[in-house]
Amino acid sequence: MFHPQRKELSVKRDNSRDESVARQKEAFLNKVLGSALGAFEVFTIYIGARLGLYDPLAQGDWLTPGQLAAVCGVHERYGREWLEQQTMAGILEVEDASAAPEQRRFRLPPGHTEVLTDIDSLDYLTPLVRQLVAATIPLEELLAAFQSGSGVPYESYGQDFRQAQADINRATLLGELGNIWLPSLKDLHTRLMADPPARVADIGCGAGWSSVAMAGAYPKLSVDGFDLDAPSVEMARENARQAGLSDRLNFQVRDAGDASLAGDYDLVVAIECIHDLSDPVAVLKAMLKLIKDDGFVLVADMRVAEAFSDQGDEVERIMYGWSVLACLPAGMADTPSAMTGTVMRPATLERYAQEAGFKGIEILDIDNFFWRFYRLRQN
Ligand SMILES: C[S@@+](CC[C@H](N)C(=O)[O-])C[C@H]1O[C@@H](n2cnc3c(N)ncnc32)[C@H](O)[C@@H]1O
């Protein structure tokens, strides 16, 4: 039976549902638009960083497109378009927007220079941008891997990705690993300073900045770095040479899960690499064989939440992003794979550690935005 009141009620409900869907659509549309704008900026910052366009603009002088083109060796028309686009994006500033296009002068505002050009700064974000772009290099391979369940080998991401990985952690490791984090672990610090000289194994050492940082801070220490990726090991050797530390740093191309690894190390570290491993338990077993009975096993990995939720913070969002684009596919390139991904929660590490023979894990009181620090206990 027709009931006018009911009809009105249901129309109201429909209207309000329509309104709430429309609001939701509007908010989402703006979110996607914002993401697309951000992506344009990521790609164009990448161009500026790779071609060295920011360096002359960071000197404080205003430059015309022609001057930038001459200094950086780029075509003037491309240079002009990029300068204008960067100004629209709020990255550069223009002295007089009404000047003729060729006469307009641009510069990097003083507050933007450190973030884009200072490799020694903890706030240097260019490597993040560079690595994001490099993560899209094997996109077709990634799409195929999604469908087949295979992986994308680390090598497929190329030298740009590797270099960005090195640069992204460089300032933090050089500034904090040997100067703040290790000194905060009092007994370990005392051992690293003492005789006989302590020995350290750096698992998944990449371009070696963690090894350089430790040897730089502790003058007696020697470090053996292990990494599966030969070009990264070459970079580590070169970084050690440039730091004048080659006599105490030794780098090997080696699968850290190699069952024949054994040693007598005072400290075994694995910085931001356990979540990348196809077989983390094999590597943790090797770490247990490498460490002395009274040694210290230190793992730094991503400071993700303890459990999944739909209210993740920025760290969680960033780590899921890396996981989808790079870490999970790289970790699935070898079979069998633990298929961990970047979002390795503490309980997952604890499970791997126990399977490897460790007695447990302890979360250390070391503060860092991206990393959580764990001590893996042998007894
Ligand atoms: C995210 S990178 C971290 C590198 C470095 N520790 C840093 O902080 O920049 C992970 C590293 O783990 C290495 N890796 C992956 N699987 C490995 C394995 N089975 N044995 C040794 N290294 C491995 C990769 O080659 C890569 O250099």
Q: Are 213 and 219 in contact (CB under 8 A)?
A: no
CATH architecture of the domain 135-377 equals: 3-Layer(aba) Sandwich (3.40)
Is 229 a pocket residue for ligand 1 (Cβ < 6 Å)? yes
Residue 114 three-state SS: helix
Low-confidence residues in the chain, pLDDT < 70: 1-14
**276 Cα: distance to centroid of ligand 1 (angstroms):** 7
* DSSP-assigned letter for residue 154: G
Name the residue ranges covered by the structural domains of the chain: 1-116, 135-377
Is 167 a pocket residue for ligand 1 (Cβ < 6 Å)? no
> What b/e sequence results for 309-319 when a residue is b if at least 16 CB atoms lie within 10 Å of its CB, and e otherwise?
eeeeeebbebb
**268 Cα: distance to centroid of ligand 1 (angstroms):** 14
Q: How far apart are CA 330 and CA 340, in angstroms?
A: 10
Residue 17: per-residue pLDDT: 86
Residue 182: per-residue pLDDT: 98
Amino acid identity of residue 260, one-letter, is S
Residue 16: per-residue pLDDT: 83
pTM of the model: 0.93
User: Which of the four CATH numbers 3.40.50.2000, 1.10.10.10, 3.40.640.10, 1.10.760.10 does domain 1-116 have?
Assistant: 1.10.10.10
Hey, whose CA ends up nearest to atom 14 of ligand 1? 204
| pLDDT tens per residue across span 108-147 | 999 999 999 999 999 999 999 999 999 999 999 999 999 9
| pLDDT tens per residue across span 350-369 | 999 999 999 999 999 999 99
**Token match 């990449």: residue?**
206
Is 269 a pocket residue for ligand 1 (Cβ < 6 Å)? no
Q: Are 360 and 354 in contact (CB under 8 A)?
A: yes
**308 Cα: distance to centroid of ligand 1 (angstroms):** 25
Residue 4: per-residue pLDDT: 45
Q: Are 370 and 297 in contact (CB under 8 A)?
A: no
Q: How far apart are CA 340 and CA 329, in angstroms?
A: 10
Count Cα neighbours of 6 within 13 Å in the Cβ-side half-sphere.
Answer: 3
Q: How far apart are CA 83 and CA 92, in angstroms?
A: 7
**Token match 């994001």: residue?**
132
Q: How far apart are CA 331 and CA 338, in angstroms?
A: 8
Residue 12: per-residue pLDDT: 57
Q: How far apart are CA 208 and CA 188, in angstroms?
A: 21
Contacts of 148 (CB under 8 A, 6+ apart): none
Residue 1: per-residue pLDDT: 44
Residue 118: per-residue pLDDT: 97
